[in-house]
Amino acid sequence: MSQPLAQPLAEPSPASKRRARGVLGLTLAVGVGLPGALFGLIVALSPLRTIVPAGWSDGEVFLLHAVGLVVLAVVLVTFGAVISGMSVWWEMRVSSRMQSRVGYNRVGAGGFLQWIADAVKLLLKEDLVPAEADGVLFRAAPYFVIVGFALTFVVLPFGQSLIAADLDVGLFYVLSVTALVVVGILLAGWSSNSKWSLFGGMRSAAQVISYEIPAGLAAMVPVLMAGSLSMQTIIQRQGAWPWQWNALTNPFALVAFFVFFIAQLAEGNRTPFDLPEAESELVAGYLSEYSSFRFAIYFLVEWGNLWVMSAVAVTLFLGGWQVPGVGLDVYEAARGAAGSIPGLGWWGLQVLSMLVFVAKTLFLVNVIIWIRWTLPRIRVDQMMSLCWKYLVPFAFVCFVGTLFWQLLVTARPWAALATGVALTGAGLVATFFFLRLTLRNVSAVGDRVDLTNW
């Protein structure tokens, strides 16, 4: 068997080579062009509110800003959908590698266009409403879910001036609109009139409402440190370097970061907390009875939440869009006079800050995917005990601890920097040991690091 398999592959024909190049080109055009265009539009449209063209009347300026905001809203929702589809593709590729297989590779180069194919397939399916379902609620439920998801993008920052609206109550707003998703899930579970859906919806309600408490308490820690609920202010009070991030200047915030991260996983119904849609018990949980576009919406929101969760965690704990070496005054200096169209340098800084933010967010997205394919689903009682016996007490301790920590930092300002450096160093050491353990795991079975054959 191994003898014939060792023979070399036949040389591909010129026609198939041309075709492969065409597929690669199309994949790159979609994979780079689509997010590139969306990010570009976000960069171009977000600061539009601050620009008042000279000589325009108030009415014209208002119209310009209104049109800009409407277009920006469409762009942000599209961005949510696109990033969700791409996350699905990336998750499937990563998970297949973790399971020693190749995964998606038929549609487009590396199977990249699979998410588009999946979406088209779902749109072409029949839109079923079960005969015994509560039709109105059944149809309404996906709207709650998609609205709760889309509304979070209002206050998600992408860069220094790249935010749809920097609300004073930004974080509070995020926590409240994400609660709409629970309403949608509960409605879906109830109105489907199916035991699987009902169990899934009830589990989801119990889970999400329970985990709101540790998530909210942990989210209060950066609020205490920044003295503001505004997403941009929380980022501006942090520094760019790792030892200036909220999570590393305060040991309580580091614990709070993990508590918040775990609670976010549970609120997004991600493994290991995907009990509401546990395939082995509940078929697909609350969305068992859904098909077609309504099903696609649940799917979109679930994967789009990867970005939302990561972006919120980066904003609160990991320094947001702060670019190392670029202080807030640099942005001010490059901005020029208020109301004018900013110079090229300012736009460059915006793109730079967006790159930093996107890089950090994508890193956390990868961690979430990585966790999903590492940890098995936990039981319902374990899920509840984790929340109430571990996360809630820890979050309370962090909350109270941060109050005293802020007193200490006010009295001894060097304490924050010293903690930051110490925790950054500890993080680097932990990373080193982790990578060493990983390489040992690779070589323990006589294998080697090989990233070919994607």
Partner 1 sequence: MAQNVRAYAAAVGTTVRSIWHGMSVTLSYLLRRPVTIQYPDRTPLPVRDTLPSRYRGFLEVDAAICTGCQACERACPINCIAITLEKDPTNPKQRLVTQFDIDEAKCMYCGLCVEPCPTGSIQHTREFEASSADLRTLTFRWAEEPFPVYKVAKDATYYPRVPLGSILRPMLEARRWDARGPEFLPPAETPASAGPAGGGRAGASRGTGGPASSAPQQESEKKP
What are the residues binding partner 1 (CB under 8 A)? 1, 4-9, 94, 96-102, 105, 370-371, 373-375, 385, 389-390, 434, 437-439, 441-442, 447-453
Q: Return the structure tokens found at 41.
A: 């539009």
Q: How far is the CB of 313 from partner 1 (least distance, A)?
A: 17
For tokens 């998410």, name the residue: 115
Q: Are 312 and 264 in contact (CB under 8 A)?
A: yes
Q: How far is the CB of 49 from partner 1 (least distance, A)?
A: 42
Residue 443: partners with Cβ closer than 8 Å, 6 or more residues away? none
Helix (H) / strand (E) containing 42: helix 14-45
Burial of 411 (0-12, 13-18, 19+ CB in 10 A): exposed
Residues 307, 320: Cα–Cα separation, whole Å: 13
Task: Give whichever of 280 and 453 is closer to partner 1, judged by the CB atom.
Answer: 453
Task: Give whichever of 49 and 270 is closer to partner 1, judged by the CB atom.
Answer: 270
Task: Give whichever of 6 and 337 is closer to partner 1, judged by the CB atom.
Answer: 6
Task: Give whichever of 9 and 131 is closer to partner 1, judged by the CB atom.
Answer: 9
Q: Return the structure tokens found at 315.
A: 């904003």
Q: How far is the CB of 132 from partner 1 (least distance, A)?
A: 36
Q: How far is the CB of 373 from partner 1 (least distance, A)?
A: 6
Helix (H) / strand (E) containing 361: helix 344-372
Residues 346, 348: Cα–Cα separation, whole Å: 5
Q: How far is the CB of 449 from partner 1 (least distance, A)?
A: 5
Instruction: Give the DSSP letter string of 124-139.
Output: HS-----TTS-HHHHH
Task: Give whichever of 19 and 389 is closer to partner 1, judged by the CB atom.
Answer: 389
Q: How far is the CB of 97 from partner 1 (least distance, A)?
A: 5
Task: Give whichever of 359 and 439 is closer to partner 1, judged by the CB atom.
Answer: 439
Q: Return the structure tokens found at 331.
A: 């942005």
Query: How many CB atoms sit inside 10 A of residue 248's CB?
Result: 28
Q: Are 43 and 159 in contact (CB under 8 A)?
A: yes
Dihedral of the CA atoms 160, 162, 166, 172 (nearest 10)?
-90
Q: Return the structure tokens found at 407.
A: 């007193």
Cα dihedral sign for 359, 364, 269, 272? positive
Task: Give whichever of 337 and 451 is closer to partner 1, judged by the CB atom.
Answer: 451
Q: How far is the CB of 446 from partner 1 (least distance, A)?
A: 11
Query: How many CB atoms sit inside 10 A of residue 114's CB?
Result: 20
Q: How far is the CB of 63 from partner 1 (least distance, A)?
A: 51
Query: How many CB atoms sit inside 10 A of residue 292's CB?
Result: 15
Task: Give whichever of 9 and 344 is closer to partner 1, judged by the CB atom.
Answer: 9
Task: Give whichever of 99 and 176 is closer to partner 1, judged by the CB atom.
Answer: 99
Task: Give whichever of 270 and 294 is closer to partner 1, judged by the CB atom.
Answer: 270
Query: How many CB atoms sit inside 10 A of residue 166's CB?
Result: 15
Q: How far is the CB of 120 from partner 1 (least distance, A)?
A: 20
Q: How far is the CB of 450 from partner 1 (least distance, A)?
A: 4
Which residues lie across from 7 on neighbouring strands?
A: none
